[in-house]
Each structure stands twice: as structure tokens, then as C-alpha cells.
Structure 1
């Protein structure tokens, strides 16, 4: 007895701090099988019995042991640490205290209420139990034995230990005192050792995991996910799976990447075709920054403003249609892609301008010049972007100042007529040059007549200025 406390303390240290499951609301039922020993000696005061607890562990002299399965029990968890137990046992009695007796049959049926002290020990592996109950004991074939009234009801007190080695299996040890009121000599201790198996409990979803341990008690699930489901079987439980019905990858929170482009299908606008993350998973075959499904020319690089197609140059003049004011007629950049009058056209204009007549020493145009001027209008309107320059010239007759003034007025007069008859004002300039640019000698009448003229040329300076101004505005 002096070492018992040390043994109990060591057991508590070994088993008392590891939490396991035991018989509880989720494992309410238990079946126990084992063997039992009956000892009459430490229950009396006179021979053949000793004092209470006298030689309690004297197994060789006093214990009656049947070396077989001799005890069965069924128990049910009630709640708050209480367990109700019904047990049956059998034995062979050949030791009654210090006396030997003929082999007697022993049968016992007991009903008790046990209380587990396990919760006081941090729900560890060791489960101390105390209990109180009653039962009935039969001892048979007493002929020749000086023992009377051994068949009787008993009041039972119990202490025990359950060692839970797993969630459902325990080694069970107990010592039960059975007191008989009718005759003291029939009182005895019954010790038992065996194995207890717990089962039962509530499993609402039927997945084999009791609700207490099931984090998803209303959805059938898997043990590795604490009872929660993994519908698509991708190893990611549904609660953490952004695509619970499609097998996917952990890096995409359980969603698939069907085309393997590193963009998860829910975020991939083109989930069946490998593409680029910056294009939301869609490809850009020509690398022009316009994804193929929005690119009218997926194999040719082109700007987004032209739906991914390169800008055309219909007339092949090197100026893209978007910048070409005459996209179907070739022309130089200076005229925004529109054709310019050729030397032949300018010559033709000047043939007409030679026939323009003015009143003597005046800038007024004579009526018979109208047909020539209209022909000039028609030719100018064929070149919608060209700026024409009207030049006025005189011979050397008269003063330089007078000639300069007259040439300016005549050039302006022609410009006004052309403007009033269909040529936009912004496409016309005029200037007078007096007698400074003769084309023939002023010493003859014919020469002076040739020098008195109106000429038409292209105003390149004005075109360049206008173009530069447009670019600055843009």
C-alpha cells in the first residue's frame, strides 16, 4: 500500500495531459469485456474473514479468479460525467476468506451509476471513476459448505480507472465493494479488469464523423477535412475552394487554369486559349497590345484606334489614309496627300490668265475676261487643297510707285473675282510686283505687252505655314 500513491501520481503525470476522446455525448454507448476476481476476506472481523481492507492485495490466498472472460457490461452516457452501467459476471468460488470450500458457482448482476473524474484532469488519458449502485448475487451448490444466505441483493460502491489508448478503446480496472444487509459474511469485493469499447453518437450527415468532431455536421465530408466536403476532389475543402465544383489548384484557391497560362479560369476571358495576364488571359498574336478576340487583324500589328489593323494607304503615296485628305489620289505630304497641279496645269492656268483684260490704267476687269476666269476657277477646284498665288505685273512705263500700286490692285481684283465665283478665300493669295519681274524687253511694244500680265503660281510658303499651324493646333 505504501507505494500505491506513487504509482497513481506517476500514472497521472504520464497520461493526464494528453487530450483524447472518451465515453461522452458523441460516444454514448460502451461495451466492456474482461475477467473478475471475488474476495471475501477483507470484509469482516472474525475468522475466516479479516478486517475491512485487510490483506486487500493478497491475490494468492484470497482471490477467486476464473481465467476466462467472466464479466460483460453495457453502459450508456447520461450526461454531466454520469454513466449508467449494467453488468453481469460469473466466477468459481473455492476460497472463502481463509477457508477452502467446494467449487461454488458465482453469478452477479449489477446496475450502477458511475461518475467520471476525467474532466478534473484536463480530459487526459486517465479517467478515474467512482460509482454507486445495487445488484444481486447468486452463489450456487452450497451443499456441505458452512456458508448460508449468500444469495442476496447487494449495495455496491465502486472505484475504477479507465486508460483511454484511443478515441474508442480503454483499459478498464475497477474494484467494487458489494455489501449484503441480510448476512455480513456474504459481503465481498469484486475486482475486474478488461477492455471497454465506446461507440454511438450523433452523425447527422452520415459521413462517419460524429457531430461533435464534424465541422460541417450537415454536409457529408471527409475525415481529413474534419467532416467537411471536397466536392470536386481536388484536395481543397469546399469552404476554402473558390471553385468547389471544378477541380483546380491550390495556387488559384481551388480554381482550374484550363489553358495553363497562369490565369485562373474565373478571371480568364479566354479560358480555353493560353494568353497574357495583362490581357485577362487572352492572346495577342501580333503583339500590338490589342487582344486577338478584339483585333480585326490578329496576325498584323496595328493600333487600337484602328481595331488592331495597320492603317491603310489606299493610293500608295506614303501617307496613311487617316492622315490623307485625298486617300484615293496620290499626292505629296506638303498637300496632305492630295495631288498638286502639274507644270502643264499651271501653264494652262497662265494661258487663260494672259487673256484677262483690264480697263486702261485701272484694276477693273473687262467683261470679256469672264470665260477665261471661269476656266481658271474650274481648274483650281480640281485641286481642293492647293493654295494658288495670283501675281500682278506691269511694264516699265510710268513711275515705279504707280506701277507697283497698279499691279497690286489688278492681282487683288483677280483674286476677288475667283473668290466670288467659287474658289475658297483660304486657297488664294495675291501680290503685285510692278515692273520688277519682266519676262520680255520693255523697249518694244510687244515686249511691254508681254510684261503687262497676271500670272498664277503655287503658294508653297502659305501651304507650309498652314500645315505648321494645323500641327500646332493638334
Structure 2
């Protein structure tokens, strides 16, 4: 049993190395070291070959009679090199040595035994789910020398590999070797047991994942990403990471959201300040649709046309200065921010205009009326959007045509004077009605005085 102890020690030593490489496609090469046993007995009773018929039994008879029939030497007696070819097929080149002391039930002088064999095997491991149990079958051929006489063989084999790790296995197998030489050949069984170590995989980027299974074979990566990297360590591989060098979240395809506003930093124009999506992640404190950085009044809502500030309303009349034709005088919305001329104002103007004095029969304004006319201008200027009509009237004394001309000239004279003291001429017009519109009886002196007048009305 010494050879079994040696084999056990070899297994323990290899397990102790902690090798954990991938197998087959990733590690196509394998070396097997072990022991072999040669059995010439259960090969079928015949006179073929070197050994007598009496030394042979029926095929597979006493197949496991280790003590009586198996020839074993107490040392490593088998060396095999294998190459995985793909799809479960393996090619092996095997060399064995032994010493034959038992031929059937008879003892013989030690006969030297050497063999070199080539084999093609098929592994069922993948079909069985890739576990630890790995049965194989195979065929092959080789050449065997027994006591310096050589002969060719055709081989059929069955084997088992029991994987302790992905690269280390204990092997056991049996090969039937049929001799082609009828005179001095020896048909026999050769059993073996050993340990196998797989190696030879290519790992270009050195990340521990072999190129065959590495989706990024030239860039070191991680097993969970099939060999591809996750540079920023955020759990999203670089190929799917929009920000591969900055840790982020799955929600934002690997990019961060520093300010937590729900907008990834690359799309966030203000990545360190919470904002809104409508403004590309920038804040708008007053909600006027203008980012605080571009808003001259960030805490007071206003239009973009005024840089985010509300329009002024200096006179407080609810008509913004930009639309207010009278921005410094309170007016009405209906009159574009200017004060509207009321009936009371017209009455006040006419109270003044009734006191305007003219030289008798003329359109010349008397000097004592200048103050009244100034009052009229002052009132008119308060209503800068209003235009006025100056109406001249006379009594019925004299010729009608003369009265018409006099009313026209007096109205025009008042217009001219008002213009001279600051009233806009474009806002004044004059007309004469002569004696056509009396407001009192022309039969009395008092009535005729009332009819001689200049009235002011609002131009429509």
C-alpha cells in the first residue's frame, strides 16, 4: 500500500496550494501524475500472443483480483499530459512504467514494462452540470515494451475524475490494450490512479478571469461584471456607466446627483444647488421662471423682459409704468394709466373760462384774465392724455356773420394764449358757434353776458 500513501500525500500537497483556476476552455492543459497496475489475466482465453492460454481467464473474469493479478510498483509510474480540444474532447499523451511479476496465477521474474499511448477522451462533466463528478470514455493507441520486446496496441478506456477544485482532480481509470502482435504481444488491462492539475489559461489583463470568459479581456475587471471594470466602484460597470469615474446611482445610469434635486449632475446646470427640471436643475426662489443666477430680483417674481424684477407702478394706479402713459400721475386702467377728465373737471375748467374777458367787439384777451388762463393750463396738464376743444360763443347783438367770425377768433385767441404759456398745441383745437348756442336769453343784459363766453369740452 506504499504507493497509495504516496498518492495521498501528493493530493494533499496540491490541495494545500490553494489553486483555484478555471478549467477546460480556460485552462486547456493538464498534467497527471499517478500509479498504474498491469493485469494480463481477464482478457479472454486464447493462444494469441506471448503468454500461454493457461495464464488467461475469460474477459473481465476476476477483474478486481488485486492481490493475485495486479502488477504495481510503489512509486509514481504514470505521467500524462492532456490538452482540452473543446466540446468535451480531450487529447492525452501518456507514459507509464511498471514491473510484471504476476502472469495469471503464476509468478515470473520481474519483466520490465514501458508504454507510450495517445488517447482521445470525451468528458461528460458539462452534460452532468459541471460538478465534481467527471466520467470519461475514450479510444486510442500506443506502443508497449515488455522486457525489450515491443508491440502496438489499440486502446479503449473508461475513467473518472473527481474534482477537488476547479483545477485539481483525483483520477481513476481502466484501459483495455489489445495487442496487434499475435506472436509476442501481450493483450492486457492497465488500471491507474492519480492526481491531475489543469493549467494554461490566458488572462491578458491579469484580473483572474480568463480571456475566454472575460468580456473585457484587455482591461482588468471584476468577476461580477464578467471581467469588465467598475472604475468608480458604484456597482455599475463602466460600459453601462455614463459617469465611469464618479460614483453614482442606477437611477441616473451611474452618474451622481450631488444636490439631490432628481437631476443627474451632467444634465444639471447647477449641480451643487437644488433646482427644478424646467430650469436644468437651477433654483428659482420666486417661481417666476428665471433662474436665481439670472434674476435681478430672485426673491420677487417678475418677467424676463425686466430681468426677473416686477414692473414698477410709481403712481400706484395699477397700471405698470411701462404701460402707463402718465407714470407719475395716478390714473385709470381704461385711460392707460392717465387720469380721466370727469364732468367735475370740465365744470371747473368752464367756471374758469367764463371769467375770461375780451376787449369789446374784439378777440384780444384782457390782461386780468391771464391768471385764469394759467389755472386752466395747470388743470389741463394734469390730464396729459386728454385733448380739449375751445368753443367760442356770442350773443345775438349785431350781424350773425360778424358774431360767427368773432366767436371763432376769440376761441382761437384763447388757444393761442394757452399754447404760449406751456399747453401743447396738439391737444387743443378751437371752434366758433357764433350766436347759435345761447345758454341764456339774449333779451336781457345779464343773459347776453352769459352767452358771450368761451367753453371748454373734452375732445372725443
TM-score, with length taken from structure 1: 0.69
Task: Tell me whether 222-231 or 315-324 shows the greater mean CA deviation.
Answer: 315-324
Cα pair 1:415 1:428 within 8 Å, conserved: no
Aligned pairs for 1:155-304 within 5 A: 155=153, 157-163=155-161, 168-170=167-169, 172-178=171-177, 179=179, 181=181, 184=184, 186-304=186-304
Cα pair 1:394 1:403 within 8 Å, conserved: no
Cα pair distance change 1:428/1:246, threshold 3 Å: farther
Q: In the alignment, is residue 330 of structure 1 matched against residue 329 of structure 2?
A: yes
Matching residue of 2:116? 110
Cα pair 1:353 1:456 within 8 Å, conserved: no
Q: Give the Å deviation of 1:332.
A: 2.1
Matching residue of 2:24? 23
Q: 2:123 & 2:73 partners in 1: Cα distance? A: 30
Q: 1:407 & 1:162 partners in 2: Cα distance? A: 140
Q: 1:298 & 1:338 partners in 2: Cα distance? A: 31
Which residue among 349, 353, 356 is the counterpart of 1:354?
A: 356
Cα pair distance change 1:55/1:389, threshold 3 Å: same
Matching residue of 2:105? 98
Q: Give the Å deviation of 1:131.
A: 3.2
Cα pair 2:229 2:237 within 8 Å, conserved: yes
Task: Tell me whether 306-315 or 44-53 shows the greater mean CA deviation.
Answer: 44-53
Q: 2:211 & 2:150 partners in 1: Cα distance? A: 44
More helix by share: 1
Cα pair 2:438 2:451 within 8 Å, conserved: no
Cα pair 1:207 1:227 within 8 Å, conserved: yes
Task: Tell me whether 178-187 or 128-137 shows the greater mean CA deviation.
Answer: 178-187
Q: Give the Å deviation of 1:368.
A: 8.9
Matching residue of 1:128? 136
Deviations, residues 217-248 of structure 1 (Å, cap 9, x unaligned): 23322111111222221111122222222211
Cα pair distance change 1:398/1:213, threshold 3 Å: same
Cα pair distance change 1:117/1:74, threshold 3 Å: closer
Cα pair distance change 1:354/1:114, threshold 3 Å: same
Q: Give the Å deviation of 1:105.
A: 8.2
Question: Where in structure 1 are there 5+ consecutive unaligned residues?
Answer: 1-20, 139-148, 463-474
Q: 2:68 & 2:106 partners in 1: Cα distance? A: 9
SS of match in other structure, 2:54: coil
Cα pair 2:415 2:428 within 8 Å, conserved: no
SS of match in other structure, 1:30: strand
Matching residue of 1:14? none
Q: 1:418 & 1:57 partners in 2: Cα distance? A: 146
Two-structure CA RMSD over aligned residues (Å)? 4.8
Cα pair distance change 1:107/1:244, threshold 3 Å: farther
Question: Where in structure 2 are there 5+ consecutive unaligned residues?
Answer: 1-21, 47-52
SS of match in other structure, 1:248: coil
Cα pair 1:396 1:435 within 8 Å, conserved: no
Q: 1:254 & 1:151 partners in 2: Cα distance? A: 72
Q: Give the Å deviation of 1:454.
A: 0.7
Cα pair 1:64 1:91 within 8 Å, conserved: yes
Q: 2:312 & 2:172 partners in 1: Cα distance? A: 97
Q: 1:170 & 1:217 partners in 2: Cα distance? A: 28
Matching residue of 1:85? 92
Q: Give the Å deviation of 1:266.
A: 1.9
Matching residue of 2:81? 74
Q: Give the Å deviation of 1:199.
A: 2.1
Task: Tell me whether 270-279 or 79-88 shows the greater mean CA deviation.
Answer: 79-88
Which residue among 49, 61, 71 is the counterpart of 2:56?
A: 49
Q: Give the Å deviation of 1:294.
A: 2.5
Q: Give the Å deviation of 1:299.
A: 1.2
Q: 1:204 & 1:238 partners in 2: Cα distance? A: 19
Q: 2:83 & 2:430 partners in 1: Cα distance? A: 116
Q: 1:158 & 1:68 partners in 2: Cα distance? A: 25
Q: 1:119 & 1:227 partners in 2: Cα distance? A: 25
Cα pair 1:242 1:253 within 8 Å, conserved: yes
Deviations, residues 439-472 of structure 1 (Å, cap 9, x unaligned): xx86764663354111335x2x84xxxxxxxxxx
SS of match in other structure, 1:244: coil
Q: 1:163 & 1:436 partners in 2: Cα distance? A: 136
Q: Give the Å deviation of 1:411.
A: 8.1
Q: 1:135 & 1:159 partners in 2: Cα distance? A: 15
